[in-house]
Amino acid sequence: MAGLDYILYEEPTGYGIFKVKLQQDDIGARQKDVENAEQDLAKFSKMVELVSFAPFKGAAQALENMDDITEGLVSDYLKSVIELNIPKGSKKSKISVGISDRNLGPSITATFPYIDCYWNEVVQDFIRAIRYHGVKMFKGLQDGDLEKAELGLAHAYSRAKVKFSVQKNDNHIIQAIATLDQLDKDVNTFAMRVKEWYGWHFPELAKLVPDNKKFCKVMLFVKDKASLTPESLHDLAALVDEDASVAQKIIDAARISMGQDVSESDMKNMSAFAEKTLHMIEYRESLSKYLTDKMHVVAPNLSELIGEVVGARLISHSGSLTNLSKQAASTVQILGAEKALFRALKTKGNTPKYGLIYQSSFIGRAAPKNKGRISRYLANKCSIASRIDNFADQPTNAFGKVLKEQVEQRLEFYETGKAPMKNADAVKEAMELGGADAVKPTAEEVEEEIGKSVSVEKDDEEKKEEKKEKKEKKDKKDKKHKHKDKKHKHKSKKRKPEDDEEHKSKKSKH
């Protein structure tokens, strides 16, 4: 770094502009002096001088400027502060300004071409020292003012970041699908433990009732196998979907069971554990229903296209619906297969064709040779559906239905060769189904689209005419070349022996 002229410091109470007193060539060499003077105000005040401090008018303006800084934008207020306090330079003699956030540098340079921004170690040391001596360097501030302003701005900034629409919030979907995955593991483990534990008393029941929920219900109804009688057939059948034959098999198996007898305390503990497992299974079902309903509200098109669970997994893996909508279709295709992708890149092997979308039924129905093709097509449609869900004004599943129909037709095309629906026809059908309410174009947008379509049609007609003219010219040239080749062949034919003798006689006469 050749030198440093000014330092821009962002405070929760305003902007501070400091002028660097050190000689330009000494700044890099005297980095240790700057570090040593961080805690000594007398030494540090000889290195920098406060040019101006522009306070914010209120908490709203402070929050607005903080949002702009985090996004790397130059607000109007910051622009006016820089214009008033930093002298204008030129392209040859630029002014060096130290900043704390590197994302803000390109925006300042674009707004003020005569300013070069730096955020290296020397600048960070200066900013660290200014922060340490902030109360004493900024006039009019008292002890505790900066801390209060920092706390208030931090709360306001955090509150603005977590603001959401109660009806359209994807954070609950991310938590619900994570809980659902954990419940699946826990339910399988607990159900296996219940079957193994109760198997010491009635081992035949696990084969007769393989379903976990039904097993827990039957186990809580039977408890001691010796209590089963022919009179309990009706009640037992109600627990196994009114299947009297299964109920009769359970009663018959209880009579000749090879299990051992258990005490009342053992049975009490087994029953308590089975009840807990049954409650967990029922909660898992209710959570699955909640996730389905929530997906139809937040991402109706994505859930209609690929299913609620797979769509929720895509949103969870991306971090949010907004992040998913910003990703390319090629990224959505291999989302969830990052390890396999980097392994393939490292070993120079074949990259994965699909990630989480492999759980969709479309890929399972495709032939092995078409799985990669249908996964690419499905990822493309998922990307479109997520963007519609994220940016549409009103939630609707019209586009999801049409996109799903397109994927079905694409599968049929791979099998039979029947031509699928075109994208333009699909959009028209979706708009007729109710998609027009979700996206309402303005009159200007409609005119622009009409103008574009007309211009495209004109361009297509002009291109067709040009192609015709080129083809006609090419045909004429080919005809000329053929005609010349024929003449050349006719002239180059061998002469007859008689002609050669006449020619020789003529030469001898001469």
Output the tens digit of pLDDT for each of the chain's 510 residues. Answer: 457 888 898 888 888 898 888 755 555 555 666 666 667 778 778 888 888 888 888 888 888 888 888 888 899 999 999 999 888 877 778 888 988 888 888 899 889 988 888 888 888 888 888 888 877 777 766 677 778 888 888 888 887 776 655 556 788 999 999 999 999 999 999 999 999 999 999 999 999 999 999 999 999 999 988 888 888 888 889 998 888 899 999 999 998 888 888 899 999 999 999 999 999 999 999 999 999 999 999 999 999 999 999 999 999 999 989 899 999 999 999 998 888 888 988 898 888 888 899 989 899 899 989 999 999 999 999 999 999 998 887 888 899 999 999 999 999 999 888 888 888 888 888 888 775 555 554 445 434 543 444 454 455 566 666 766 777 777 776 766 655 555 555 555 445 445 555 555 554 544
Q: Is 232 exposed, middle or buried (0-12, 13-18, 19+ CB in 10 A)?
A: middle
Give the chain's domains with CATH numbers: 6-161 (3.30.420.220), 172-292 (1.10.287.4070), 299-438 (1.10.246.90)
- The amino acid at 286: S
CA angle 498-502-504, nearest 5°? 115
Alpha-carbon distances of 319 from 43, 220, 315, rounded to whole Å: 48, 42, 6
Find the Cα–Cα–Cα–Cα dihedral 174, 179, 181, 187, rounded to 10°: -170
Residue 173: both structure tokens together: 């979907």
3-state secondary structure of 202: coil
| Exposure string over 257-273, b if 16+ CB within 10 A, otherwise e | bebeebeeeeeeebbeb
Residue 246: both structure tokens together: 């299964």
**Which one, of 220, 214, 213, 183, lies nearest residue 198 by Cα?**
220
Q: Which residues on adjacent β-strands are paired with residue 11?
A: 14
Length of the chain: 510
CA angle 426-427-428, nearest 5°? 90
Alpha-carbon distances of 144 from 11, 63, 181, 343, 346, rounded to whole Å: 14, 20, 48, 54, 54
Measured CA to CA, the distance from residue 311 to residue 450 in angstroms comes to 35
